[in-house]
Structure 1
Amino acid sequence: MVAYLGTDSNVVIPDKIDNVVVTRIGNQAFFKNKNIVNVSIPNSVKTIDRSAFYGSISLKSINIPASVKSIDEQALSGCSSLISISVDNNNTNFKSIDGILYSKDGSKLLNYPSGKVDEKYAISNVVTEIGRNAFYGNVNLKSIEIPSSVTIIGAGAFDGCKNLSSLIIPDGITNLGVGMFYGCTNLSSIKIPDSVTSIEHSVFQNCISLNNITIPNSVTSIDIGAFSGCKNTIFNVKSEAVKQLLIKSGVNVSKIIVNS
């Protein structure tokens, strides 16, 4: 399926089109569709591609059938009304817990629905990886508790979580990927562990409420624009080397305090 061009609110995807079995929902098939509220996916579909439902702002729920083997991590991003993702119990690759999409073994949190209304969420200590854009655009969450079991957090994981106020990144995380906290405008407190070695582009862009942040000596790479728009932030470092990394990334030297 390449694209849906209709205006219906309830869409049933057929298992065959012109007698050809539908096995894939293509990239941007429902991209920024404003009308679709419910969608029925047939048990013939094996793949849901990148941005398949991206920005479908009226979509409230979706069921992943047993046949689906692959879901791109951005397939359901930006669905601001999506409150629940359900998965057929016979699916061998994915499962749903409280409406949240996980890998079947529960080790990877793939998608926390953007419209889910809870203000707090504690991630299970079974989880070792938070997927790319996993919490993208959820404006209700104020607090997320990440267990020490998590060693990988994907790029853009908390992008657009405007009400997220504080977060502790667990020990073991080595990389803060592109846009991880982009646009988290209420983020005022965050702890970066000594395990982190790189901070990529746009990680904290427009985090305008971030007043203080400590960059550990373990950090050896900071991309240009990592802290773009952090106009109120004071940066605490313990070495001249980290200070220079910040300056090269675009941080004003007057905002950096060296505490040796």
Structure 2
Amino acid sequence: MNHNLNLNMFHRLYFAFMAVLTLMCSCSSDRPDSLEPHLHTLQATDITRTEATISGMCQTDKATQMPQLWFRYGTDESMSERSDVLDNVDGSVSMRLRNLTAGTTYYYMLQGGNGTAVLSGEPLSFTTLPNLQPTMGEVKVLSSSPMSVIVGYSIADDGGDDITESGCRVVRQDGADMDGGSEKQITIMQTGSVSADGLFRLRIGNLQPNTTYVISAFARNRNGEVVGEPLSYTTSSAVTLDTPGMLSVVIGDDIYKYTTITIAGPLNGDDLRTLRHMAGLGIDGSATDGRLADIDISGARIVAGGGTYDASRYSEDNVVGVGLFASCVNLKNINLPMDVVRIEKDAFLNCSSLRSIVIPASVNDIVPSAGCTSLENISVSEANTAFASRDGVLMSRDGKSILWFPMGKRGEYSLPATITAVGAYAFRDCSLEKFVFPAGLAKIGECAFYNSKVKEVVLPSTLKLLPTGVFQKCASLKTVRLGDDVELLSDRVFDGCPLADLYISAPTPPVCSPNTFTTTGTDFTKTCRLHVPMGKKKFYRANSKWNVFDNIVEE
């Protein structure tokens, strides 16, 4: 009986074991071959008013193929917008949403699929930043004059909306009324557009020289107005330019108010034309209401560019050009730019009020100007290596040559003993009545005394040649004394001179050019006394050039 009991127990255990084994095999065969991908939508990042970055990731096991991934998004939970299929890196994807609307909530989620089914990640949302008031950049002075200033200011951020208006507000720092009126503050509205450098430019006029102002730039959009950091600025007595061609803009309506001006910065043809206009002369040669008399452009620089400064001439770099200030009859004093290298002929032609010219160190070439009847002084920088000034007379640096004698210089003038040469036109139009040149003078340039008021000239024996037109149009010249060693007289030496006495010490008649005694005025040879050395009259009378004188006397 015990045997049968043990056998039954064995059978029961066996069948129980088999049932468990069968159940385990059955469960193992129900497991799928691969797991379904799992999508995760991640929080948006780098959110601005108009952009945001959305991201997501897809998890799969090794046996599952990565599905195509994309985003759905939109301004409501339906998320009606769908992106293109995105490239993934180890299951991670992201995209930058652009052109969004400020202050708006957007919904989005990651989706994926392989063509048969669509899987979705969790739906999330973000809100773009709202539009704000503008953000102002700095305001700075670009150009200035004693009575105006050009400022530039920037709008660093428009706040997301169009700027409806901007400009500058100006008050006096001392609290006084603006421009002598009853207003404590003036507002200048911006009507132009932003320039290539990102600045809005604005001219503020009707200011007072040497006065401190507070200038505040402002901008407004639909969200409100913002005012930038104020700029404290004190006007000076100088005009400062940041770019060429700006002088007329800076001066504005004050163009006829200036009698004195100091300028720093580049000056092109347009600026030089404005200066002439301020000094009383229009581009067509007609008179203007300009009153400018004193010009200091030592801190300026003449540059090429712009239009003509007169009817036909253009500016060149560092050159005071032909006729640049011609006929500016109000001009009295001028300091030239420190970088000028050349002053061309008649740069100051007929500047009848001009009294003083200051020549900088850089100048190495000068041709005098005619018609400067009031010019008394030409001063030269001590650093100039080509020229010097002696008693207001322009000379070579070594003191041997006179190059430009001021027309308005009056009274007596003693020529330096160092003089060996006189430049062409050096005494043109001058007012001195008598010149006695020291021994050692060896050369005189053409037309040296052209149209001067000289009455008597004494030349030394060291001078051998009288050049063409040396005394031409000297309408007061009565007496000329030539030295012993003079050898040649060129053409038209005394053209237009009412010569009364010509003294010559040379024992042998000097050589004369074909037109030495030709004159456009009265023939002086009929009345002028030719004074020759004792016993030499017969030689002069026998010479075909000298015998034109009716009166030859020996002394």
Identity among equivalent positions (%) equals 28
Alignment match of 2:383 (pick from 90, 108, 117): 90
Contact 1:48–1:68 at 8 Å: present in 2 too? Answer: yes
TM-score (structure 2 length as normaliser): 0.41
Contact 1:194–1:218 at 8 Å: present in 2 too? Answer: no
Between 1:215-224 and 1:13-22, the stretch displaced more is 13-22
Q: Deviation per CA, 1:170-206: give whole Å up to 9, x if none.
A: 1121211122122333333222123222212221123
Q: In structure 2, what is the equivalent of residue 132 of structure 1?
A: 424
Q: Deviation per CA, 1:36-55: give whole Å up to 9, x if none.
A: 22223111111111222232
Q: Give the whole-Å Cα distance in 2 for the aligned partners of 1:69 and 1:189.
A: 35
Q: Secondary structure at 1:150's aligned position in 2?
A: coil
Q: Give the whole-Å Cα distance in 1 for the aligned partners of 2:418 and 2:372.
A: 26
Contact 2:450–2:469 at 8 Å: present in 1 too? Answer: yes
Q: In structure 2, what is the equivalent of residue 99 of structure 1?
A: 392
2:418 maps to amino acid: V
Q: Give the whole-Å Cα distance in 2 for the aligned partners of 1:173 and 1:218.
A: 15
2:488 maps to amino acid: S
Which structure 2 residues correspond to residues 180-219 of structure 1 after superposition, within 5 A? 180-214=470-504, 216=506, 217-219=508-510
Contact 2:377–2:406 at 8 Å: present in 1 too? Answer: yes
Offset at 1:64?
Answer: 0.3
Q: In structure 2, what is the equivalent of residue 109 of structure 1?
A: 402
Which structure 2 residues correspond to residues 140-155 of structure 1 after superposition, within 5 A? 141-155=432-446
Q: In structure 1, what is the equivalent of residue 226 of structure 2?
A: none
In structure 2, the gaps of 5 or more residues are 1-267, 280-291, 307-314
Change (3 A) 1:2 1:79: farther
Offset at 1:160?
Answer: 2.2
Change (3 A) 1:242 1:29: farther
Q: In structure 2, what is the equivalent of residue 226 of structure 1?
A: 517
Q: Give the whole-Å Cα distance in 1 for the aligned partners of 2:331 and 2:488.
A: 40
Cα RMSD over matched residues? 2.9
Q: In structure 1, what is the equivalent of residue 362 of structure 2?
A: 67
Alignment match of 1:48 (pick from 343, 347, 353): 343
Q: In structure 2, what is the equivalent of residue 15 of structure 1?
A: 301
1:151 maps to amino acid: A
Q: Secondary structure at 1:39's aligned position in 2?
A: strand
Q: Secondary structure at 1:244's aligned position in 2?
A: coil
TM-score (structure 1 length as normaliser): 0.83
Which structure 2 residues correspond to residues 34-45 of structure 1 after superposition, within 5 A? 34-45=329-340
1:122 maps to amino acid: S
Offset at 1:221?
Answer: 2.1
Change (3 A) 1:25 1:50: same
Q: Secondary structure at 1:52's aligned position in 2?
A: coil
Alignment match of 1:174 (pick from 464, 467, 470): 464
Structure showing greater Rg = 2
Change (3 A) 1:2 1:111: farther
Q: Secondary structure at 1:167's aligned position in 2?
A: strand
Greater share of helix residues, 1 or 2? 2
Change (3 A) 1:182 1:242: farther
Q: Give the whole-Å Cα distance in 1 for the aligned partners of 2:302 and 2:518.
A: 49
Q: Secondary structure at 1:178's aligned position in 2?
A: coil
Greater share of strand residues, 1 or 2? 2
User: How many residue pairs were aligned?
Assistant: 250
Change (3 A) 1:177 1:33: farther
Offset at 1:12?
Answer: 4.6
Q: Give the whole-Å Cα distance in 1 for the aligned partners of 2:542 and 2:359.
A: 46
Change (3 A) 1:236 1:89: closer
In structure 1, the gaps of 5 or more residues are none
Offset at 1:209?
Answer: 4.4
Offset at 1:137?
Answer: 0.8
Change (3 A) 1:109 1:16: closer
2:513 maps to amino acid: I
Q: Give the whole-Å Cα distance in 2 for the aligned partners of 1:175 and 1:241.
A: 21
Offset at 1:82?
Answer: 0.7
Offset at 1:146?
Answer: 0.6
1:95 maps to amino acid: A
